[in-house]
Amino acid sequence: MDIKQRIPERAAPFDDILAEMASYRTNDADWKGGKVWSLVYHAGDEFSEFLKRAHNLYFSENALNPMAFKSLRRMEAEVVRMTASMLHGDEQVAGTMTTGGTESILMAVKCYRERGKARGIKQPEMIAPESAHVAFEKAAHYFGVKLRKAPLDRNYKADVDEMRRMINRNTVMLVASAPQYPQGVIDPIEAIGALAQEKALPLHVDSCIGGFVLPWIERLGRPVPLWDFRVPGVTSISADVHKYGFSPKGASVVAYRSMEYLKHQFFISTDWSGGVYASATMPGTRPGGCISAAWAAMVGMGEEGYLRHTAEMLDAFDALRAGIPKIPGLVVVGQPEASLLAWSSEGHETGKPRLDVYAVAEQMAARGWTVDRQQYPASVHLTVMSNHRKAVDAYLEDLRASAAHVAAHPEENSQGNAAMYGLMAKVPVRAFVRQGVQKVMESLYAPNPKFEPDPEDSHLLPERFRRYEPHVIRAIDTVFDLKTRITRR
């Protein structure tokens, strides 16, 4: 694939440009057909066309200056207010929109670091479950906050007693997930909230993926443990509108119990020659279209729409939970409580799996499914959405065939992607994996990016890689099992 090296001397016809752009999508994942179990949240073509119009109404506006574009400030305030109400927050809840879950988490960590600094803490630490989203690790790296990971109990939930043991005078925040991503379980947030209150610590609940679905699951009569602002110890929540809120990408909310917390999120400079500068979130320029489309999505979907899509999602979720364990050799990991689940091999708990999960995953990928592989334990993740209801039967049929193939051909467990994944999970020196991913990222973001594997990197890739997955971005998915961790948010 030739990469454009310079701006064309002459402008191309608009129709030709759009046709060329469309051709680039040839090898993209088939999310419309329900073949993708992450990344894209689709509420139908008609709704998407409506959101495009809503976005384009504010195509050029910039929310950097809320005084200049009061309409955007109003819509952002209403998105935050509607979200806070959905999460059972009172009128004191304050927050901002961000570009996504990662930025919402970054902002919460930055906020509590600054709050801790104001209280004299010079070496801030946060305590999060091992299953907390990797964005907390990114925030720790960016903001100089030590991340201490608390172990999980046998049900993959945060061990509250271990979190208690880890608290010290440098702790600036506690973290919980609703739900956590890998297995779809909700941490014991009432117990963690009580611990936060006892120790006078803020508690951030990462509900980026659950914030716009858990309330509707509860409204439909399913039992959901308390996790939102109804838990007294919860001081902030992150929830992505661009996931189950069905807005276009670039829209999340971070909400705090009061301005006493949110004020620590702001950045203010008064001495710059360009004038006084104030920013509520990470970016300076903030695209108006993301705000307007998020507002339109929430108003255009309404409670009725969210309840309908959640009910359809639950139909698919229930079918998967019931169908996967009926396939010889496979099990659902843990007890998923929301819209996420993971499947693995029987015996994975004892270290003696009946089937090689990554070999089954490779078979599913060969059948056209986008597969999100996980580790600790080896498993495959599914984020279930309403549009998967039409794909569940085909998925289970292909999964049964894939598992049967691997059971009948155990020799394939030591070949190709399966061996590479198994090796990665067992390599004692994780720096080896990091170095490989570093090379992939350098090739992707180089001045002349490579979309084909470099022959010099062949030792990093399985032999069958060139035949099955020609693009380097797929190398992150199929070799290092890190695509979702790098691009999820």
55-300 folds as Aspartate Aminotransferase; domain 2 (3.40.640)
User: Domain segments of the chain: what residues?
Assistant: 55-300, 427-489
Identify whether the C-beta of residue 123 lies closer than 8 Å to the C-beta of residue 170. Answer: yes
Q: Is the link from the previous residue into 447 a cis peptide, with omega within 30 of 0? A: no
Q: How far apart are the first and last CA of the chain?
A: 27
Identify whether the C-beta of residue 373 lies closer than 8 Å to the C-beta of residue 380. Answer: yes
What is the residue-level pLDDT of the chain in tens, covering all 489 positions? Answer: 577 788 888 999 999 988 988 888 887 777 777 788 788 888 888 999 999 999 998 898 878 877 788 889 899 999 999 999 999 999 999 999 999 999 999 999 999 999 999 999 999 999 999 999 999 999 999 999 999 999 999 999 999 999 999 999 999 999 999 999 999 999 999 999 999 999 999 999 999 999 999 999 999 999 999 999 999 999 999 999 999 999 999 999 999 999 999 999 998 888 889 988 888 899 988 899 999 999 999 999 999 999 999 999 999 999 999 999 999 999 999 999 889 999 999 998 877 888 999 999 999 989 999 888 888 899 999 999 999 999 999 999 999 999 999 999 988 775 555 555 555 555 444 555 666 666 655 665 555 555 554 545 444 444 433 333 333 334 444 444 443 333 334
Note the pTM of the prediction, 2 decimals: 0.85
Cα separations in angstroms, 269 against 258, 276, 277, 284: 23, 6, 5, 13
Identify whether the C-beta of residue 78 lies closer than 8 Å to the C-beta of residue 295. Answer: yes
For 166, residues 6+ apart whose C-beta sits below 8 A from its C-beta are 127, 148, 150
Identify whether the C-beta of residue 101 lies closer than 8 Å to the C-beta of residue 95. Answer: no
